[in-house]
């Protein structure tokens, strides 16, 4: 027995080495976290595209050509997203700058409301019109002074908002890097999975493969369900605002659908620009009411019917379980918790079914 083997027999030495290794790994991961995030996003794209690529291969379309089609679709969606967001952001910049002057046009509506309330004996409405308009103008002016620079920076190629998201190469470089990695992952998806599996010791690999399948079932079902829900919200808001007559209805619908990846956030985010744009139209009060009706309807349909039904089908969870999971996740970790709650609960259910229910602890008792 050499000196190393003798020292390694001590449990304190082994514990110290393991703790040191964990610390070094933690520091190393902290240094390359941007690369890991990019790889995770690229792997998610490849994971979502893999069923489509397999279907194309079964239809005798070569995988390389299928990847080319997927990249074209992805690039088209990104271009459409950029155009729509730039359109609605540019309109909001102009709108917010002009809102203090346009609020004065609501004076007639306020006159009718205060006159109606005064006729019914409501006291204290003297000069209420002037006070309300002045307060609204001050609030919107302050709001505009804060939000306009942010939107302008977001629209500029050298804006601090977008520059803070990435450290090298800008947003375009970041997207191209992720897209390039996702192309390689899509082409060699099975080989990459096999290589990642071989990182683990051989006796662990069957369990790792089994756990990976569980994660794929839980997370994949949730992501596909959320994409379906987001698509519905986007189309519903787009059609509803088009009927109401709100400008940039397609852009606002896209905004609502995209942000709805975080449950219930899309209608809230999309309603703000829609209401602001409604203020500039004839019959502003009626337009605002109709806009609110559209977004409340979208939110109610999603929250009470669509999300529980679709997510319960894609993640094999009861609708009430989905609702409770989202509420608990939001209470614990906010929007991040609401986003992660359902796939974690789905994964937990699959692990119970796979490992706990067949175990002797469950069948015979502890």
318 vs 156, more confident: 318
Number of separate domains in the chain = 1
Helix/strand/coil (H/E/C) assignment for every residue in the chain: CCHHHHHHCCHHHHHHHHHHHHHHHHHHHHHCHHHHHHHHHHHHHHHHHHHHHHHHHHCCCCHHHHHHHHHHHHHHHHHHHHHHHHHHHHHHHHHHHHHHHHHHHHHHHHHHHHHHHHHCCCCCCCCHHHHHHHHHHHHHHHHHHHHHHHHHHHHCCCCHHHHCCCCCCHHHHHHHHHHHHHHHHHHCHHHHHHHHHCCCCHHHHHHHHHHHHHHHHHHHHHHHHHHHHHHHHHHHHHHHHHHHCCCCHHHHHHHHHHHCCCCCHHHHHHHHHHHHHHCCCCCHHHHHHHHHHHHHHHHHHHHHHHHHHHHHHHCCCCHHHHHHHHHHHHHHHHHHHHHHHHHHHHHHHHHHHHHHCCCHHHHHCC
333 vs 71, more confident: 71
What's the pLDDT at 259? 77
**Mean pLDDT (whole number) for 152-160:** 47
Is residue 209 assigned to a domain? Answer: no
Task: Give 102-151 pLDDT, tens digit per residue.
Answer: 555 555 556 666 666 666 666 655 566 566 656 655 655 555 555 545 44
CB 340 within 8 A of CB 329: yes
**Measured between alpha carbons, how far is 274 from 13 in angstroms, rounded to an integer?**
64
Per-residue pLDDT band for 97 (boundaries 50, 70, 90) equals low
What's the pLDDT at 141? 56
Is residue 213 assigned to a domain? Answer: no
Task: Give 239-292 pLDDT, tens digit per residue.
Answer: 999 999 888 787 788 878 877 766 566 677 778 778 877 877 777 778 888 999
CA distances for 221 relative to 96, 260, 316, 346, angstroms: 40, 16, 9, 9
**Measured between alpha carbons, how far is 327 from 334 in angstroms, rounded to an integer?**
9
Residues recorded for the chain? 366
**Mean pLDDT (whole number) for 15-44:** 82
Task: Give 214-232 pLDDT, tens digit per residue.
Answer: 777 777 777 778 788 888 8
Burial class of residue 103 in the structure, from the number of CB atoms within 10 Å of its CB (0-12 exposed, 13-18 middle, 19+ buried) = buried
What's the pLDDT at 47? 82
Average pLDDT score, the chain:
75
- Point out the least confidently predicted range of 31-35, 146-150, 173-177, 321-325: 146-150
Indicate whether 30 pLDDT > 50. Answer: yes
Q: Could you tell me the two tokens for 318? A: 């009861």
Is residue 23 assigned to a domain? Answer: no
What's the pLDDT at 236? 92
Is residue 365 assigned to a domain? Answer: no
Is residue 52 assigned to a domain? Answer: yes
What's the pLDDT at 121? 64
Is residue 191 assigned to a domain? Answer: yes
Task: Enumerate residues 6+ apart whose C-beta is below 8 A from 315.
Answer: 218, 221, 222, 225, 322, 342, 343, 345, 346
Is residue 62 assigned to a domain? Answer: yes
Per cent of the chain over pLDDT 90 is: 2
CA 150 to chain centre: 21
Helix/strand/coil (H/E/C) assignment for every residue in 27-82: HHHHHCHHHHHHHHHHHHHHHHHHHHHHHHHHCCCCHHHHHHHHHHHHHHHHHHHH
Residue 85: which domain range?
A: 35-160+169-199
Is residue 211 assigned to a domain? Answer: no
């Amino acid at each position: 027995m050499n000196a190393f083997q003798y020292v390694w027999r001590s449990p304190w030495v082994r514990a110290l080495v393991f703790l040191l290794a964990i610390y070094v790994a933690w520091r190393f991961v902290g240094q390359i976290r941007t690369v890991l995030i990019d790889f995770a996003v690229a792997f998610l794209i490849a994971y979502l595209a893999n069923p489509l690529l397999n279907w194309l291969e079964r239809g005798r379309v070569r995988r390389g050509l299928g990847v080319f089609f997927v990249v074209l679709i992805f690039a088209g969606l990104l271009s459409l997203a950029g155009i729509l967001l730039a359109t609605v952001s540019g309109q909001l910049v102009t709108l917010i700058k002009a809102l203090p002057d346009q609020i004065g046009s609501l004076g007639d509506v306020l006159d009718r409301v205060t006159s109606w309330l005064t006729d019914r004996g409501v006291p204290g409405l003297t000069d209420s019109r002037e006070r309300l308009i002045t307060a609204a103008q001050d609030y919107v002016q302050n709001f505009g002074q804060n939000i306009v620079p942010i939107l302008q920076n977001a629209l500029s190629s050298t804006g601090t908002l977008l520059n803070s998201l990435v450290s090298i190469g800008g947003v375009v470089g970041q997207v191209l890097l992720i897209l390039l990695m996702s192309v390689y992952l899509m082409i060699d998806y099975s080989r990459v999975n096999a290589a990642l599996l071989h990182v683990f010791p051989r006796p662990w690999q069957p369990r790792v493969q089994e756990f990976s399948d569980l994660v794929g079932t839980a997370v994949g079902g949730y992501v596909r369900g959320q994409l379906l829900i987001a698509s519905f919200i986007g189309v519903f808001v787009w059609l509803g605002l088009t009927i109401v007559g709100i400008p940039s209805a397609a852009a606002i619908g896209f905004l609502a659908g995209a942000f709805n990846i975080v449950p219930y956030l899309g209608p809230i985010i999309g309603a703000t620009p829609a209401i602001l744009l409604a203020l500039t139209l004839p019959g502003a009060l009626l337009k605002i009411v109709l806009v609110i009706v559209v977004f409340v309807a979208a939110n109610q349909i999603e929250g009470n019917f669509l999300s529980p039904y679709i997510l319960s089908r894609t993640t094999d969870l009861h609708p009430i379980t989905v609702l409770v999971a989202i509420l608990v996740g939001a209470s614990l970790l906010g929007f991040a918790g609401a986003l992660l709650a359902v796939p974690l609960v789905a994964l937990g259910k699959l692990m119970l079914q796979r490992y706990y229910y067949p175990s002797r602890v469950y069948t015979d008792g502890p």
